[in-house]
Structure 1
Amino acid sequence: MIALSEDLLHRLRERAPEYDRENRFFDEDLAELKDAGYLSPQTLLETVRNQRLLARYAPATALGINMHHVVVGVARVLHDRGDTTLDWVLADAEAGELFAFGNSEAGNDQVMFDSRTVATPLGDGGYEFTGTKIFTSLSPAWTRLGIFGRDDTDPDDPKLVHGYLTRDTAGHQAVGSWDTLGMRATQSFSTRLDGARVPAERIARILPVGPTGDPYIFGLFANFLLAIGSVYAGIADRALELGVEAVGQRTSLKNGGRTYAQDPDIRWQLADAAIGLDSLAPQLEGLARDVDELVNHGGDWFRLLVGAKTRAVDVSRQVVETAIRVSGGRSYGASNELARLYRDVLAGLFHPSDPESAHSTVAQNLLGPLE
């Protein structure tokens, strides 16, 4: 298991406010994490634990690096199930290449089950991709970019084509701006694809439009949802820590100068936050272990995965808000760490699967499809 040293983690925490304030990419963090071997393949359980720890110190850095580990994690899921077609991803990650996702699209609420990007076959097994992807985390630094698009060559049998660009490929550029409320250091610019070519050997999957049980899609959802949930749990870990520190320092005139740590109402609020937070590790880590150990949850898998991500984000937001509430007005200052954590944790609302999609997935698992 890759170890994140205390010295490294504290350096990352020291730089986090600067990245946020200056709205710039975490170049120094990335260099240190790469030197520490953190880009190398990990089991999903290791990823979930490491990413939660990393987010406790540098949330935006953790969220950005998450995208790399999701792509590498998909390759690991396939390898563990006897499919070696993406073993080159594992080798590239071991060599220090940085992977990112170019999958999200504005107005595409089908997420991975359809695409507005055009995938045009080249006749030799490769494809050209034309379209715009949004929220491309790691935009300034990725060396490998996962993308997908729709091939309508046969209108009666459209296909979704998944492939990986290399940085030196022509036909892609970062566009727009990244001036967001939180998670600013991820520098998740949009990516415009204009005939960007992916050769046959970098085409990962050609799948039908719509939901599929293909292991590639399973691996993508499993790694993304559990790793995302872990990042927000890490933010909540830090917020609870800061809340406990704050109430141990704040004094109450009403209570004879005693600290708020002796106030029953404050104690209840922090205890309630901790109870919610303590529930996340068994769920996130348990499912990650099941993925690693090839446990078969059958048709329940997607219900379990979207439920874990949704709960992790919701609980983490509640914990951060509680920490702010018990810490008093000083936490409202723009430079206060809790204020930054609050802005960062709100980004969890925008990652797939959103609450509507998650509840639809669970309802379908329980009740069957709508008639």
Structure 2
Amino acid sequence: MVESRPDSPSTSDTAAGRLADLQLTARTAAGRQFVELAERHAEDFAARAEQHDVEGSFPFQNFKEMAQSSFLAGTVGAEYGGLGVDSLYDVMVGLSRLARGDASTAIAANMHVAGASVAGQFMRRSLAEGDEHTAAMLSALLGQVGSGAVVMCFPTTERGTDLTAPQMEATPADGGYVLNGRKIFGTISPAAQLFFPSVRIPKDGGGYLTGTAMVPGDAPGLVVEDNWDSLGMRASGSNDITFTDVRVPASHVFAVKDNYAKVGQGFATFALTANIPLIATFLGVAECATAHAAEAAGKRKGPRKRRLADRIPIQQLMAEIEIDLATCRAMLARVGQLADEFLARYETGDPLSAESNALMKETQCMKYVVNRKSIEVVDRAMIICGGGSYMSRHPLARLYRDVRAGPFMQPFAPYEALEYIGKVSLGLDPALDR
């Protein structure tokens, strides 16, 4: 094989340029501002990521800086002090960029950013339905988020159930409700001042309604357990949160639906808005790993001082990485566009179940592929970088542990996704067989 000329550009010289040429880009002016902030923050956060990973500590400084830059208010309207990003596609791109610097920070920030978007959507729906009280409450909330005064946590996960069927109960009492239950994976909880747990509400005559409660972080009976100790995403602050006889006024339990254990309709807006950017963070992890692999391939090794990049097996591994990245980007872009169109059509009302299920099917197809391909990209990057990447302080060791979190995130786990996709494709009721 002919050796490269000494003055030829190395792989490491061109890695950043290749990412910039091929990466997903925002489509709106507000979205481009959001992505630029994400890139700026990612550069700073990358320098702290290792320490937080080793310590399992929460990156409070990262969230202070994102609040100051208005990144955390990205999806809040400009009239409330936010950036006014109204494209889920652009939010998805921004969160993927942030994940290149620190995936833990990205998934935690997504919970808040997506929650603010859902709050805006629900406020507009409340106005359309004439529910001025709920609209005013949410308007005040958006003002707090826009000013950077509030960080929100949306604990929806519980052991032994799924997102559509919460077991945490809101029991009517004294004109309000009493909350009891335990949530797990309460991502961003160390930094939050407001919590929005999903709850079930007993119906007269049996059965339950589902809804969301708004609970201040200092409410008596609410405890963030500080017990997050995980293989990866160690700095996401995804603690358990317990609610013991927590009292909330009736006005702070909203979005109440008689759609217990159903995936479609009202659930679709929340699931799409929170889930699509979350899935995109794993593309960001894969892109970061690719940059590390390209840099390693550009270095000269061995007695002949040849570059790894000049070896055919390394070229083949990089080709497989590029194919997987192209696949992930294409699927994310398609679903992001479909989601924007869907949310625009149903800004003030619920869609038909069939349409919700069809789009959720496409989202689950995308999630299944992006989660798997991102893991494979990081794995190949480690092979290219060699044994050093197996050491705990190597950036790829952290990226590999972080990227493994994707398939566990709901909705759905891989085996559930396959069931859901198959049922929708066959025209069956997509309720999962639990």
- Structure-2-length-normalised TM-score: 0.79
Aligned 8 A contact 2:118 2:270 in 1: yes
Aligned 8 A contact 1:317 1:345 in 2: yes
Q: 5 Å matches for 1:15-26?
A: 15-26=48-59
Which shifted more, 59-68 or 280-289? 280-289
Aligned 8 A contact 1:181 1:343 in 2: yes
Look up the match of 1:368.
427
Distance in 2 (alpha carbons) for counterparts of 1:225 and 1:275: 24
Look up the match of 1:344.
402
Aligned 8 A contact 2:39 2:97 in 1: no
User: Counterpart of 2:405 in 1: which secondary structure?
Assistant: helix
Q: 5 Å matches for 1:173-188?
A: 173-175=223-225, 177-188=227-238
CA gap of 1:139–1:52, structure 2 versus 1, over 3 A, is: same
| CA positional deviation for 1:113 | 2.0
Cα deviation 1:82-133 (Å, max 9, x = unaligned): 568444443332122111121110111xx12212212101353x32210110
CA gap of 1:310–1:88, structure 2 versus 1, over 3 A, is: farther
5+ residue gaps, structure 1: none
Look up the match of 1:160.
210
Find 1:113's aligned residue among 151, 155, 164: 164
Distance in 2 (alpha carbons) for counterparts of 1:88 and 1:285: 33
Distance in 1 (alpha carbons) for counterparts of 2:41 and 2:216: 29
Look up the match of 2:95.
51
Work out the percentage of aligned pairs sharing the same amino acid.
27
| CA positional deviation for 1:197 | 2.4
Which shifted more, 295-304 or 170-179? 295-304
Find the structure with the greater CA-based Rg: 2
CA gap of 1:19–1:198, structure 2 versus 1, over 3 A, is: same
Look up the match of 1:194.
244
Cα deviation 1:155-181 (Å, max 9, x = unaligned): 533212312212232221022622211
Find 1:61's aligned residue among 85, 102, 105: 105
Look up the match of 2:145.
93
1:332 maps onto 2:390 in alignment: yes
Which one-letter code corresponds to 2:159 in the other structure?
A
Distance in 2 (alpha carbons) for counterparts of 1:269 and 1:32: 37
Aligned 8 A contact 2:38 2:97 in 1: no
**RMSD (Å), alpha carbons:** 2.2
CA gap of 1:317–1:163, structure 2 versus 1, over 3 A, is: same
Look up the match of 2:307.
259
1:228 maps onto 2:284 in alignment: no
| CA positional deviation for 1:8 | 3.6
1:276 maps onto 2:329 in alignment: no
| CA positional deviation for 1:270 | 1.1
Aligned 8 A contact 1:73 1:219 in 2: no
CA gap of 1:184–1:300, structure 2 versus 1, over 3 A, is: same
Q: 5 Å matches for 1:200-239?
A: 200-208=250-258, 209-215=260-266, 217-239=267-289
Aligned 8 A contact 2:179 2:247 in 1: yes
Look up the match of 1:13.
46
CA gap of 1:308–1:262, structure 2 versus 1, over 3 A, is: same
User: Counterpart of 1:279 in 2: which secondary structure?
Assistant: helix
